[in-house]
Amino acid sequence: MYPGSVAENAAIGDIVRDVLLRDVLIYTGNPTAFSITTGNTNNAFSINNSGQITVAGALDFETTQSYTLTVQASQDGVDVTATVVIIITNINENTLTISGSRNFSIAENNAANAPVGTLTITGNPTVNLTGTGSEKFAITPAGVITALNPLDYETKQNYQLTVTATKDDAETKTAEITITITNVYLPLTISGFNSAYSVVENTSFRVTPTPITGASWGGGSGLFSVNPFNGTVTSDDPLAFDDANPANNVHTLTVIAGTNASNGNESGRGTYQITITVIEALTIANATLSINENATNGTAVGAPLVATGNPTAFSITTGNPLSNGSRVFAINDSGQISVSNTLDYETTPSYTLTVEISKDGAPNVTAQITITITHVNEDGIN
């Protein structure tokens, strides 16, 4: 039998005793599990797999003065038990004490009679609060502190109060406590931004939100800064496109705006998240091509045009005359020019086309494409 003792006012988690290896498994090695199998009325105790017994529930000397526990240790299918007797020691509950944390906090705009915190007070005394602002709070003989009405951070941020507990025999205890009022920000709406932007590589980014009177601004991330006075978001440098790691082309930042309380208004705070995607710039090279005058419709004119930046559309904007309801040339979205009408060297020996490429978020880019029509000897005479 292995004894232990604990005071009736022990807190949950307090250690009662360790059931040592030699107590239960002298010959069989290290146990892998401990459990309390009997005697644990109302689950007053618990035991971990290191054999440490702790308080798990409320103890009361007047109700139960001792517990006789059967502790079982197990290893590899072998169970061994030991008896542990835990004596509950009496505490003079009429002794006047004040214990517990002296620092409390509550958010402003609380409900009436909202809880602030609890001191542990014993001895059943008369309890009161004094100090500047004490009339805003109440305390019970058990030490429960409440806020009688809504509190205002903008008016006062903390209260330094004295708790006085007095018994009938005039015995007195005091404790100094601090109650801190925490700020609650009213929602502040940020507008004037888009949630997503596309920026062409090697250019800078700049966007300004709708002004908010009296606001201070912050936030930003990585390559971007936020002007503290007007909230303008700018890139610190021209933005580069990372072809090898596309994930590096997407930047997310949070813009924060805050206002301080003034003229009876509460302080406010708002946030806005922006995603900025850097896209590759478009380029297309000028080119000179040639095609026989007797080429049929659909015949490719040279190889596809060379373009970078993954354009999604190609178009011929100038230099492509209309004849009999059809243009002379066509171009597809891969950049391949083809014949789409009759060619005649004698009439038009060359064409200068303006080809434009485009994609979402990037400026359109053009190139000059010269197509020379080669003569075919149609009568056999050189």
pLDDT 10s digits, 218-242: 998 889 999 999 999 999 999 999 9
> In terms of CATH architecture, what is 97-182?
Sandwich (2.60)
> In terms of CATH architecture, what is 2-89?
Sandwich (2.60)
Question: Edge-to-edge strands of the sheet including 2-7?
Answer: 2-7, 78-89, 66-75, 33-38
Below-50 pLDDT ranges, the chain: 21-28
Name the residue type at position 56. A
Those residues whose C-beta lies under 8 Å from the C-beta of residue 322, and which sit 6 or more positions away, are none
**Spatial distance between the Cα atoms of 98 and 95, rounded to a whole number of angstroms:** 10
What backbone phi and psi angles, to 5 degrees, belong to 190? -100, 130
The yes-or-no answer to whether 97-182 and 186-279 have a common fold is yes
User: Which pair of structure tokens corresponds to residue 186?
Assistant: 């009213």
pLDDT for the residue numbered 9: 85
pLDDT for the residue numbered 170: 86
The Cα-based distances of 342 to 171, 209, 291, 295, 327 in angstroms read 116, 56, 12, 8, 9
pLDDT for the residue numbered 381: 52
pLDDT for the residue numbered 26: 41
**Domain limits, the chain:** 2-89, 97-182, 186-279, 283-374
Which superfamily, per CATH, for 186-279?
Answer: Cadherins (2.60.40.60)
Q: Quickly tell me which residue has 């069989």 as its tokens.
A: 28
What backbone phi and psi angles, to 5 degrees, belong to 43? 50, 50
Pairing of strands 78-89, 2-7: parallel
User: Which pair of structure tokens corresponds to residue 102?
Assistant: 């002296």
Task: Give, in words, the CATH class of 283-374.
Answer: mainly beta
DSSP letters for 224-244: EEE-TTT--EEESSPPPP-SS
Is the pTM value of this prediction over 0.75?
no
pLDDT for the residue numbered 21: 43
pLDDT for the residue numbered 3: 79
H-assigned helices in the chain: 21-24
